[in-house]
Every structure is written in structure tokens, then in C-alpha cells.
Amino acid sequence: MLRNGLEPWHLALVALVCVLLFGSKKLPEAARGLGKSMRILKSEARAMKTDDETPAQPVTPAAPLSSVSAEPAEPAKGAADVA
């Protein structure tokens, strides 16, 4: 049934229905909006691609805190009596 896909008269019929539904005044505005959206999408995709290509800067670890001790904490006052 759909061996050839869309033929030229199918596209003309779709264009005619769009003109009838939306009117001739709304179609140029819609086309402008679609074009603007496509330009924004392309520029964002290009920016993401260039971000991926630039190597990331190596992260240096923070210096250890000197106030932290390695000794175990003292037990609570009442915990030593519970044996």
C-alpha cells in the first residue's frame, strides 16, 4: 500500500491543510519561530561538542586538616561501667 512513501501530491495536500488550519498570517510566524529554535539548538549542540573536546583540568586534592588526630575518641562517661 505505501510502497513509494510520500509522493509530491501528498506533500501538497499536507501544505494545503496547514494553510487552511492555521491561516496564511500564522504560517510565516511559525516558520520564523521554528528557524530561530533550530539555530539555538545547533549553537547549543556545537557548544556542547567543543566542551567535550577540551581536556578537563586535573583536580588537585585538598591539603589534609592538621587538627584531626588519628587517636580513638574517649568513651562516654557512662559507657565504661556497662561491662
Question: E strand or H helix at 32, and its extent?
Answer: helix 8-53
pLDDT computed for residue 65 by the predictor: 63
What are the φ and ψ backbone dihedral angles of 58, each rounded to 5 degrees? Answer: -65, 140
Mean pLDDT across 9-14: 89
**Whether the model pTM is above 0.75:** no
Residue 76 has pLDDT above 70, yes or no: no
Q: What is the mean pLDDT of the chain?
A: 77
CA dihedral 45, 46, 52, 57 (to 10 degrees): -120
pLDDT computed for residue 35 by the predictor: 94
- pLDDT band of residue 68 (cuts 50, 70, 90) is low
Residue 53 has pLDDT above 90, yes or no: no
